[in-house]
Amino acid sequence: MNITVVGSGYVGLVVGACLAETGNTVICADVDVAKIDGLKRNILPIYEPGLDSYVDRNQKHGRLTFTTDIALAIGSADVVFIAVGTPPDEDGSADLRHVIAVAEQIGRHMRRELVVVTKSTVPVGTAAKVSAAVGRFATMPFHVCSNPEFLKEGAAIEDFMKPDRVVIGVESDRGRSVMAELYAPFVRTGKPILFMDLPSAEMTKYAANSMLATRISFMNEIANLCEVVGADVDQVRKGIGSDSRIGPAFLFPGPGYGGSCFPKDVKALVRTAKEYDVPLRVLDAVETANDAQKDRLFAKVVRCVGGLRGKRIAIWGLAFKPNTDDMRESPALVLIDQLLTAGAEVVAHDPVAMPEAERRMGTSIIYAASGYDALEGANALVVVTDWNEYRHPDFPRMKLALREPVVVDGRNLYDAAKMRALGFTYDSIGRGRSR
């Protein structure tokens, strides 16, 4: 098929590259000239493992091209995916201006019967707005579908190529048949394509992410209680995760969720509910719990180190999760702001996110070339992101480099008894404090 993806950010780029991988002719269109020029030279605007090879290979074989000429890209398409950003407004609602603008362009420039697919994360009712926007200008038949993405940053290629399920909202037989053909290569092992009505597909995306965010906040709250009652949250996590009704995923406690999806999607769903006067009390609590959880690392540093003015604090991990350079809503940002406000000097390391951190924070912190370099002369280390390279460090080397042997482990990477035996002051999430 001839496919156009409008928007070449995280979602659009993954969608375009993966659809080209299965033999489709794909054009990724974007108004950002610098981004498109970079992509033509295989310079990606994001870090996502494996994506660069997909982009490079499919460009070389002529299946994937990039352009700023959105009108031309729409005119050649059989299917157009809308994959532009939907940033949150001040009230938490999704900003749909870019989505509707693209829909209007589709109506103006389509040259044949077209399937229009909303891939951006959009609230319930957006498909109807897209249909109206396309219809204002269209002179040919079109079919609107909703196809929410379920891509985990750091594993997006695997998620797209081997999905747990594909959710597609349709309103016509033509839309259903085209989308079934398009996704057939990805579900050969029997994973389902779930066809449903448009509002249900839109709701599924928000409900899924809100459920995962709820599990994270619930487990963080349990971890906080474990600390004061003497329980070990790791044992509790295994105990409840072995229940087949619950399962083990998303039960790891930490410093709070971040990234481009969970915070935005929870806020947007809460906002949608308010518009319809339906209270979502559980999600209100999830947001409150997550905001509070991001303060806990700072409180632990103060408890272990004392007054912070003039102290040097090392941070391992700046991205909100490993295998990405995404720092949106990262717990590290909250911690760094609190440390700087308290008068501490911050030196940080991250395997991938250092350029993004420097873009955001400039010279307000020190950027270390390695994790061990960050420790030199520091009064404490705070582990914020669970990158693999932080999981099995040289502990004697760490202790030698630190001015004080203090480790605040926001991801429970290390064994508390071992850290105690090595002479560290060690504090983690939901496991108490060890000296």
> Is the same domain home to 135 and 115?
yes
Q: Are 58 and 17 in contact (CB under 8 A)?
A: yes
Q: DSSP class of residue 191? A: P
The tokens describing 327, both together, are 């720092």
> Is the same domain home to 281 and 298?
no
Name the domain boundary from 292, 309, 332.
292
Catalytic one of 145, 226, 261, 304: 261
Give the pLDDT of residue 433: 59
318 pLDDT exceeds 70? yes
Q: Which residues face 380 on adjacent strands? A: 313
Region 304-312: mean pLDDT is 96
> Is the same domain home to 316 and 397?
yes
> Is the same domain home to 269 and 300?
no
435 pLDDT exceeds 70? no
> Is the same domain home to 164 and 216?
no
> Is the same domain home to 269 and 304?
no
Least confident range of 178-182, 197-201, 265-269 = 265-269
Name the domain boundary from 196, 220, 237.
196
Give the pLDDT of residue 85: 87
CATH no. for residue 383?
3.40.50.720
Classify burial at 307, counting beta carbons within 10 Å of its beta carbon; exposed 0-12, middle 13-18, buried 19 or more. exposed
> Is the same domain home to 288 and 304?
no
Least confident range of 62-76, 262-276, 309-323 = 262-276
Residue 377: give the domain boundaries: 294-434
Q: Are 36 and 44 in contact (CB under 8 A)?
A: no
Give the pLDDT of residue 354: 96
Q: In whole angstroms, what is the distance from residue 165 CA to residue 190 CA?
A: 9
Q: In whole angstroms, what is the distance from residue 286 CA to residue 292 CA?
A: 10
Q: In the structure, what pLDDT confidence band is assigned to residue 11 with cuts at 50, 70 and 90?
A: very high
Q: Tens digits of per-residue pLDDT, 210-242?
A: 999 999 999 999 999 999 999 999 999 999 999
Give the pLDDT of residue 194: 97
Region 243-252: mean pLDDT is 96
Q: Are 47 and 84 in contact (CB under 8 A)?
A: no
> Is the same domain home to 188 and 237?
no
> Is the same domain home to 329 and 408?
yes
Q: In whole angstroms, what is the distance from residue 9 CA to residue 85 CA?
A: 8
> Is the same domain home to 184 and 257?
no
- How many domains does the chain fold into? 3
Q: In whole angstroms, what is the distance from residue 378 CA to residue 407 CA?
A: 10
Region 10-38: mean pLDDT is 96
Q: Tens digits of per-residue pLDDT, 420-429?
A: 999 999 999 9
Helices 331-341 and 296-305: angle between axes, nearest 10 degrees: 40
Q: Are 35 and 140 in contact (CB under 8 A)?
A: no
The tokens describing 239, both together, are 């105990």
Percent of the residues in the chain that have a pLDDT greater than 70, as a whole number? 99
> Is the same domain home to 282 and 402?
no
> Is the same domain home to 31 and 166?
yes
Active site residue 261: yes
Name the domain boundary from 292, 307, 322.
292
Least confident range of 93-97, 178-182, 420-424 = 93-97
CATH no. for residue 230?
1.10.1040.10
Q: Are 270 and 280 in contact (CB under 8 A)?
A: yes
200 pLDDT exceeds 50? yes
